[in-house]
């Protein structure tokens, strides 16, 4: 009877039982794809990761599953997995091989050696107008977006809708069935300066509302910089998850040179809260 060990981390928070939950199977050798998907469904978190030997020069290779499907890249799984591995490996950086390429994660430590912050360099996103904006706004029960409704792709496709205030974001009551039919992962946000609030809905991926979406935080700051709401090279702080009892804080920054996007960085905290095993 194989014993499959995993670690649970709460990501994009420094407080247990907040942030976005992540299960990390630290040695997934011998686990086939069908079992990975079944384990992700059994656990029920927005994502579960499986750590495998590297194939392209990284530290490890990871596979990322939602309860319904595999993702080529995701933010809180990358930060959380690197945090878990670096804690035991005593590394200052972890390079994660994903289907979207190698994602480097830098870990900062305090004087005691404890990890206190993690920062990933994300795949650079492409951007295009979202073709079904009217139906999306109807599903969200809102009349308009303050900025163009655009879709970014960094391995995960995120569509952004801008509201007029953070209170409007908090008050959202979307039609999740309609969003699922659109097969859209939508980020609704508002804010100013360095402080922003977002809610992310992805019912077609089995995630009605996500507590913290690292893969959306990078494209969000790019979106804000492109539309001159934030200066290139400035860090923003993003609040998410409050409405579902999992408050989270994400930090993001986009750098460009001569009009060309050069780097997208997303960071935050994490805390390990549990360890367990499956016997299958």
Pair 154, 176: CB distance under 8 Å: no
Q: How confident is the model at residue 259 (pLDDT cuts 50, 70, 90)?
A: confident
Using CA atoms, how far apart are residues 5 and 31, in angstroms rounded to an integer? Answer: 11
pLDDT at 90 over 80: no
Residues 39 and 108 reside in one and the same domain: yes
Pair 228, 266: CB distance under 8 Å: no
Residues 149 and 233 reside in one and the same domain: yes
Question: How are beta strands 207-210 and 195-202 bridged, if at all?
Answer: antiparallel
Residues 178 and 248 reside in one and the same domain: yes
Residues 239 and 146 reside in one and the same domain: yes
36: containing domain: 3-123+268-279
Residues 237 and 144 reside in one and the same domain: yes
Residues 170 and 92 reside in one and the same domain: no
Residues 115 and 136 reside in one and the same domain: no
Residues 250 and 174 reside in one and the same domain: yes
> What element of type H or E holds 133?
helix 133-140
Residues 106 and 144 reside in one and the same domain: no
> What element of type H or E holds 2?
none
pLDDT for residue 155: 93
Using CA atoms, how far apart are residues 30 and 25, in angstroms rounded to an integer? Answer: 12
pTM over 0.75: yes
Residues 160 and 47 reside in one and the same domain: no
DSSP secondary structure string for all residues of 46-97: SEEEEEE--SSSSSEEEEEE-SS-EES--HHHHHHHHHHHHHHHT-SEEEEE
Which residues are catalytically annotated?
A: 47
Pair 65, 40: CB distance under 8 Å: yes
Nearest to 156 by CA among 88, 91, 64, 237: 64
Residues 23 and 71 reside in one and the same domain: yes
Question: Residues 126-149: what's their mean pLDDT?
Answer: 97
Query: Where does residue 211 fall: left (phi above 0), alpha (psi -120 to 50 degrees), or beta otherwise?
Result: alpha
pLDDT for residue 87: 84
Write out pLDDT tens, residues 56-74. Answer: 999 999 999 999 999 999 9
CB atoms within 10 A of CB 265: 18
pLDDT at 14 over 90: yes
Write phi, then psi, for 121 (nearest 5 degrees): -100, 115
User: In b/e form, how buried is each residue of 96-119, taking b as 16+ CB within 10 angstroms?
Assistant: bbbebbbbbbbbeeeeeeebebbb
Residues 159 and 230 reside in one and the same domain: yes
Using CA atoms, how far apart are residues 2 and 9, in angstroms rounded to an integer? Answer: 23
Domain count, the chain: 2
Q: How confident is the model at residue 1 (pLDDT cuts 50, 70, 90)?
A: low
The mean of the pLDDT values for the chain is: 96
Using CA atoms, how far apart are residues 83 and 97, in angstroms rounded to an integer? Answer: 15
CATH code of the domain in which 216 resides: 3.10.310.10
């Amino acid at each position: 009877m194989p014993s499959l060990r995993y670690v649970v981390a709460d990501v994009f928070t420094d407080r247990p039982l907040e942030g976005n939950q992540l299960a990390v199977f630290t040695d997934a050798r011998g686990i086939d794809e069908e079992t990975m998907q079944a384990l992700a469904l059994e656990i029920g978190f927005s994502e579960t990761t499986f750590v495998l030997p590297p194939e392209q020069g990284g530290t490890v290779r990871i596979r990322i599953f939602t309860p319904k499907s595999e993702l080529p890249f995701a933010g809180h799984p990358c930060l959380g997995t690197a945090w878990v591995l670096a804690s035991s490996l005593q590394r200052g950086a972890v390079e994660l091989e994903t289907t979207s390429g190698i994602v480097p994660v830098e870990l900062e430590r305090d004087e005691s050696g404890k990890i206190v912050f993690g920062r990933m360099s994300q795949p650079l996103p492409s951007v295009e107008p979202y073709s079904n904006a009217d139906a999306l706004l109807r599903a969200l029960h809102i009349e308009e977006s303050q900025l163009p409704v655009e879709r970014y792709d960094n391995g995960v496709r995120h569509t952004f809708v801008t509201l007029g205030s953070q209170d409007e974001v908090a008050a959202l009551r979307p039609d999740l069935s309609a969003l699922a039919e659109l097969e859209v992962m939508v980020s609704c946000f508002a804010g100013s300066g360095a402080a922003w609030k977002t809610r992310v809905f992805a019912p077609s991926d089995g995630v009605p509302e996500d507590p913290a979406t690292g893969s959306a935080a990078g494209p969000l700051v790019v979106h804000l910089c492109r539309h001159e709401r934030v200066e290139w090279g400035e860090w923003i702080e993003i609040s998410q998850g409050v409405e579902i009892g999992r408050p989270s804080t994400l930090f993001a920054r986009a750098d460009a040179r001569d009009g060309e996007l050069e780097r997208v960085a997303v960071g935050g905290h994490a805390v390990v809260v549990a360890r367990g095993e499956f016997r299958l």
